[in-house]
Amino acid sequence: MFSRVFPIYILSLFFLVGCSSTPNEQDKQVFRYNESAGITSLDPAFTRNLENMWAVNQVFDGLVELDNEMNVIPSIADSWEILDSGLTYRFKLRDDVFFHDHEIFAGSKGRKVVAQDFVFSFNRLLDSEIASPGSWVLNVLDKNKGGFKAANDSTLEIYLTEPFSPFLGMLSMQYCTVVPKEVVTHYGRDFRSHPIGTGPFKFAFWYENVALVFHKNENYWMTDSEGQNLPYLDAVKIDFVRDMSTEFYGLLKGEYDFMSGIHAAYKDELLDPYGNLNTAYNEQIKFQRTSFLKTDYLGILADPELELSTSHPLADVRIRQALNFGLNRKEMVAYLRNNSVYPANIGFIPRGLPGFDENAQYGYDYDPKRALELLSEAGYPNGQGLPTIPISTTTDYVDLIEYIQHEWAKIGVEISVDILPSSSHREQVASSKLVMFRKSWLADYADAENFLGLFYSENFCPNGPNYTHFKNAEFDSLFVSAKRSTEDSERHHLYRKMDSLVMAESTVIPLFYDQVSHFVSQKIEGLPTNPINMLDLKTVQKTD
């Protein structure tokens, strides 16, 4: 079987990468990138990691999508209404969206998408036999009303148990894209390697651990502002080379068109101390960056019912505030990260999310004088008498904690560094066994509720992500109100107020907001860079 199939793949691959000498094949626009972490499935129900998401995003569409400013915009749903005070969502579907061609469909244009296709797709996401890791997205559905129904071919209704404002944005996740029942039934679990969707590219072949190829969907429904059909590219080719140096030098040699992220081994070579691309590479590549929906922080256990935290001086809010003031975040990100991340001196909500306020006054700029005043007010002038503070971390962040150790020594605060295996660190944080710990939070969906949920009292770990056991009655009330609000401006105002309450209590010390870093060939135009780091190739063009 291998010997008969492999040559077909290789011949197809040669055609796509321009190895043929014929002018027609050389004119093909092929976008190439490497996925060193590999891809495990092309089934939207299993888009748990970014590698799978990127590939699935080329092949499938959902009801809605996010623009580069994280606003929800139409996709297959042409419009929608939110009714019954946020309990009912009614979507009107486009009538020009078709699944990719497949032998199972009659005709030459695939099959038109109807509302019942979303009913099937959502039921599949909830199916315990499928065991999708994305089933949680639909936890808010009202099962007593069936959760959702197709009122007719062009109308889909979804019912919630209670108002939940982030829900619309959650429907933009790849988990919620539409799949055709006939094809899924035909392939069963092998749908993972035989995907049929409605997206800008259609599946060509996948030789696992070697290469994955998508071809242009000639019948894609979306057009550009001038009415030209998208996508512009003819194909996408993904390699699976695990060696990061091969990917890096492949980009420099023009073998790849794109590389995401900054590997530590090439950080100083690619970026100058100010976080800009080194000028030596300007002719070959360009550096595209934006905020990433991720906050790295130190968490402080501050639960009056836990002896571990109440017996420690960190139970005093003045000491926690002093530690926040005593950290020079701007210097930290310049020294440790070549300014490839943003100092988190505003609040816990990261840059790039609606609700982030660049001009907020509730964050912490570097102010060692104020830090010393707070320590003195708490009974520890210049840190005298304050016991050593243990910080738990993993090997990946030792340099960060050592920098913090050096900074806090300037205000008389000593810390010890406790390095734990990742699994042990996660378990001890989740079971409230650590007074202070390094942690990060990456958005599951593009709404600040996802970050502020870490401070809602009903989310106390181990039953939720409130690892610091933060509890504030005003915060809880605002959190519930924000979830129920259907007005974006009102909700974002509430988010900022909640963020200010978290910062006042200082049970977290935000360190930095992460950054999406894309290194792109100079031959590529139209590649967007967005805060969820989603690879969107439908508007990309490639020049000679």
Per-residue pLDDT of 327-378, as tens digits, reads 999 999 998 888 889 999 999 999 999 889 999 999 999 999 999 999 999 9
One domain, residues 475 and 330 = yes
Whole-model pTM: value is: 0.88
One domain, residues 398 and 299 = yes
For residue 489, tell me if it sits in a domain.
yes
One domain, residues 309 and 343 = yes
For residue 527, tell me if it sits in a domain.
yes
Q: By residue range, what is the domain housing residue 168?
A: 2-250+523-542
For residue 157, tell me if it sits in a domain.
yes
One domain, residues 214 and 121 = yes
For residue 394, tell me if it sits in a domain.
yes
Domain count within the chain: 2
Q: How confident is the model at residue 24 (pLDDT cuts 50, 70, 90)?
A: low
Q: How confident is the model at residue 269 (pLDDT cuts 50, 70, 90)?
A: confident
Q: So what's the pLDDT on residue 301?
A: 93
For residue 453, tell me if it sits in a domain.
yes
One domain, residues 362 and 487 = yes
Domain containing residue 483: CATH number: 3.10.105.10
Q: So what's the pLDDT on residue 323?
A: 98
One domain, residues 466 and 530 = no
For residue 149, tell me if it sits in a domain.
yes
One domain, residues 68 and 207 = yes
Q: Which of 172, 209, 186 is nearest to 60 (CA)?
A: 172
Tell whether the model's pLDDT for residue 291 goes beyond 70: yes
One domain, residues 196 and 296 = no
For residue 58, tell me if it sits in a domain.
yes
User: Distance between CA atoms of 51 and 350, rounded to whole angstroms?
Assistant: 23
Tell whether the model's pLDDT for residue 101 goes beyond 90: yes
One domain, residues 474 and 537 = no
Q: What pairs with residue 315 in β-bridges?
A: none
Q: So what's the pLDDT on residue 305?
A: 83
For residue 263, tell me if it sits in a domain.
no
Q: So what's the pLDDT on residue 7?
A: 43
One domain, residues 300 and 425 = yes
Q: Is residue 459 exposed (0-12), middle (13-18) or buried (19+ Cβ within 10 Å)? A: middle
One domain, residues 114 and 131 = yes
Where is average pLDDT lowest: 226-230, 311-315, 414-418?
311-315
One domain, residues 231 and 297 = no
Domain containing residue 16: CATH number: 3.40.190.10
Q: So what's the pLDDT on residue 26?
A: 59
User: Distance between CA atoms of 442 and 293, rounded to whole angstroms?
Assistant: 6
Q: Which of 457, 455, 421, 424 is nearest to 441 (CA)?
A: 455
Q: Supply angle C-alpha 62, 66, 72, rounded to 5.
A: 90
